[in-house]
């Protein structure tokens, strides 16, 4: 049995437009990209290896050659989910660096949380499927993904909570945790909704809300979330 070489993480898009030259992207990566796309559309269970290999233009057996099994392929796809979350962390660190030696404003922190994810979700070939997958993982938690999030996402949550706490020292730490999760939910909700196959909000509002407009989404989200954080604590009314 020959040994399959390790995959090299890279974000080269599948070059949808340049259908002429194919040999650019190696099969191993084509499989991973196809898997992300198919998984995001049909779910991990609903997706078929034959669907994936058809899309990747490789033989069926290539999946078991490069990745050991479907489960292993799923695991490799899950690792890619860190991309959107790490982009969020990078944006936070950038805005903290920009504000040094002081601290970024609440609005800047929230924008660091929102904007990278919104931007990412515009990339139909790369980011958008990842966002869809993030939602699926949330909706159907597997034991493995729970551990995955705990280890790699929780520290980033803590970073944001700390940054918000510095911008609004009067807020109780518990309240910040609550509201950060609410903000995350609002963000994911509108990104789900802005999927071209859904567009519920745009339809509901009779076209008043343009979920295709990055600046509109970001602006609306930041305004809502900042106001939410600045409100009185839960017991105060």
Partner DNA sequence: GGCAATTTCAAACAGACGTTTAAATCTACC
Partner DNA sequence: GGTAGATTTAAACGTCTGTTTGAAATTGCC
- 212, interface contact from its own copies, DNA, none, CB < 5-8 Å by kind: none
- 154, interface contact from its own copies, DNA, none, CB < 5-8 Å by kind: its own copies
Q: Give yes or no for residue 235 binding its own copies (CB under 8 A).
A: yes
- Degrees (nearest 5) of the Cα angle 204, 206, 211? 70
Q: Give yes or no for residue 124 binding its own copies (CB under 8 A).
A: no
Rounded to whole angstroms, the Cα distance separating 223 from 189 reads: 16
Q: Give yes or no for residue 4 binding DNA (CB under 7 A).
A: yes
| Other residues' Cβ atoms within 10 Å of the Cβ of residue 141 | 11
Interface residues for DNA in 8-67 (CB under 7 A)? 27, 47-50, 58-65
For residue 133, give every residue at least 6 positions away whose Cβ sits within 8 Å of its Cβ, in sequence order, or none: 36, 39, 40, 77, 81
Residue 84, token pair as written in the block: 């959107």
Q: Give yes or no for residue 136 binding DNA (CB under 7 A).
A: no
Q: Which one of residues 9, 12, 69, 231 is an interface residue with DNA (CB under 7 A)? A: 69
Rounded to whole angstroms, the Cα distance separating 168 from 227 reads: 12
Rounded to whole angstroms, the Cα distance separating 99 from 127 reads: 28
Contacting residues toward its own copies, per CB under 8 A: 42-46, 107, 132, 135-136, 138-141, 146, 149-150, 154, 157-158, 173-175, 177-179, 181-190, 192-193, 195, 197-198, 200-201, 203-205, 208-209, 216, 219-237
Contacting residues toward DNA, per CB under 7 A: 1-5, 27, 47-50, 58-65, 68-71
């Amino acid at each position: 049995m020959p040994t399959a070489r390790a995959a090299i993480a890279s974000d080269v898009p599948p070059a949808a437009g340049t259908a002429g030259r194919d040999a650019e992207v190696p099969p191993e990566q084509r499989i991973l990209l196809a898997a992300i796309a198919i998984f995001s559309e049909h779910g991990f269970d609903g997706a078929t290896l034959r669907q994936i290999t058809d899309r990747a233009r490789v033989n069926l057996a290539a999946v078991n050659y490069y990745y050991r099994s479907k489960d292993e392929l799923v695991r490799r796809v899950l690792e890619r989910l860190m991309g959107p979350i790490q982009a969020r962390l990078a944006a936070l660190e950038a805005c903290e660096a920009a504000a040094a030696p002081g601290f970024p404003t609440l609005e800047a922190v929230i924008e660091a949380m929102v904007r990278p994810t919104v931007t990412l979700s515009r990339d139909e070939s790369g980011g958008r499927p990842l966002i869809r997958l993030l939602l699926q993982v949330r909706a159907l938690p597997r034991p493995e993904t729970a551990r995955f999030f705990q280890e790699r996402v929780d520290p980033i949550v803590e970073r944001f909570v700390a940054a918000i706490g510095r911008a609004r020292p009067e807020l109780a730490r518990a309240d910040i945790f609550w509201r950060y999760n609410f903000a995350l939910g609002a963000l994911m909700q509108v990104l789900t909704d802005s999927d071209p196959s859904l567009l519920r909000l745009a339809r509901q509002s009779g076209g008043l809300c343009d979920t295709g407009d990055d600046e509109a989404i970001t602006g609306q989200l930041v305004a809502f979330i900042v106001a939410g954080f600045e409100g009185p604590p839960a017991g105060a009314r």
